[in-house]
Amino acid sequence: MLLRKTCLSPLIVLVPLATACLLGAVRTGIAAVELPDRAPLPAASPLSPEKPATQEAAIPIPQPRPDLPAPSRKPEMFGPPAPPRMLPDPRSNANRPAEMPQAETACRTRLKALGAAFEEAKPQGSSDGCALPFPIRLSRLSAAVDVEPDAIINCAAAEAAARLTADVIGPAAKATFGEDLSGVDQASAYVCRPRNGTNKLSEHAFGNAIDIASFTLSKGTSVEVEPAPPEKNAKFLMAVRKAACGPFKTVLGPGSDADHSRHFHLDLAPRRNGGTFCK
């Protein structure tokens, strides 16, 4: 028992001493280390050379639009529209003989006997089918009756007009007005065109027609073809119109249609059995 106490006594003395030494060393170490006034800031990480510190957002640039083709426009049309293609006519394809046919020669002989004045004219024709191979330029229907202006016409139509003048128009003018007939004012003879409102060639396209707009008397009086003429003029015009149906195969005038309200249309259109159309 005594031995145990003797052995423990040094330990009891040493433990407090060691503890005191350890605490003193700790205090000395803490006093030796000086703490900074502020905590150090973390080091900034280095910037990547490829990326700037701040990047602005890229502003999109609009791309130019491709040029759009201009809207197509229909070509403007100036003037009247092109005429329709003409229907075929046997007279369109007739070959012009090198020499004047006997019928043409005989017609000219009869026309001269009536006192008409004319001269040969240049042949007429076109790709549309118009054809006048042996035309004449008619300047007088008789020794006393002029044609104003000269008419390019075929001989047969000229002869029919000259005979109508000698047999009917001249005597009717004398009987109605007491004056001689001195002139016939024609509106058209040969004209390469279709019938109005159709694609069939007119008789004018063959020089086979004449349009008469007025008649001139010896004292200068003009008797016009019109829808409502004075009474005396109307009597004369009706006599001419009725007598023309027969010598001419077609007779049109005021009242027939709007296109013939101011002239007589006279033609020799070939019809079956020599029929006439007078309206």
User: How confident is the model over 138-157, as pLDDT tens digits?
Assistant: 999 999 999 999 999 999 99
- How far apart (Å, rounded) are the C-alpha atoms in residues 198 and 216? 33
Residue 160 lies in a domain: yes
CA 76 to chain centre: 6
Give residue 21's pLDDT band: very low, low, confident or very high (50, 70, 90): very low
Residue 189 lies in a domain: yes
* pLDDT score, position 71: 59
Q: Is 223 left (phi over 0), alpha (psi -120 to 50) or beta?
A: beta
* pLDDT score, position 78: 59
Neighbouring CB atoms inside 10 A of 95's CB total 6
Give residue 74's pLDDT band: very low, low, confident or very high (50, 70, 90): low
* pLDDT score, position 1: 46
Least confident of 32-36, 96-100, 107-111, 207-211: 32-36
Domain coverage including residue 230: 102-278
- How far apart (Å, rounded) are the C-alpha atoms in residues 268 and 249? 5
Residue 137 lies in a domain: yes
194-228 per-position pLDDT tens digit: 988 788 999 999 999 999 999 999 999 999 999 99
pLDDT, averaged across the chain:
82
Pairing mode of beta strands 222-224, 146-153: unpaired
**Percent share of the chain, pLDDT over 70:** 68
- How far apart (Å, rounded) are the C-alpha atoms in residues 8 and 3? 9
Question: How many Å is the Cα radius of gyration of the chain?
Answer: 61
* pLDDT score, position 7: 46
Tell me the residue type at 96: R
- The pTM for the full model equals 0.69
Residue 53 lies in a domain: no
Task: Output 201 or 24, whichever has higher pLDDT.
Answer: 201
- How far apart (Å, rounded) are the C-alpha atoms in residues 104 and 273? 22
Residue 62 lies in a domain: no
Residue 49 lies in a domain: no
**Residue 86 corresponds to which tokens in the numbers above?**
């003409």
Task: Output 119 or 66, whichever has higher pLDDT.
Answer: 119
The number of domains in the chain is 1
User: What Cα–Cα distance (Å) separates residue 229 from each residue in 172, 176, 234, 236, 261?
Assistant: 16, 14, 5, 10, 11
- Quote the Cα angle for 222-224-226, to 5°: 160
User: Counting beta carbons within 10 angstroms of the beta carbon of residue 130, is it exposed (0 to 12), middle (13 to 18) or buried (19 or more)?
Assistant: buried
User: What Cα–Cα distance (Å) separates residue 127 from each residue in 202, 208, 217, 242, 251?
Assistant: 15, 18, 41, 36, 28
Indicate the SS3 state at residue 63: coil
**Do 107 and 101 touch, CB atoms closer than 8 A?**
no
* pLDDT score, position 181: 98
DSSP 8-state assignment for residue 245 = B
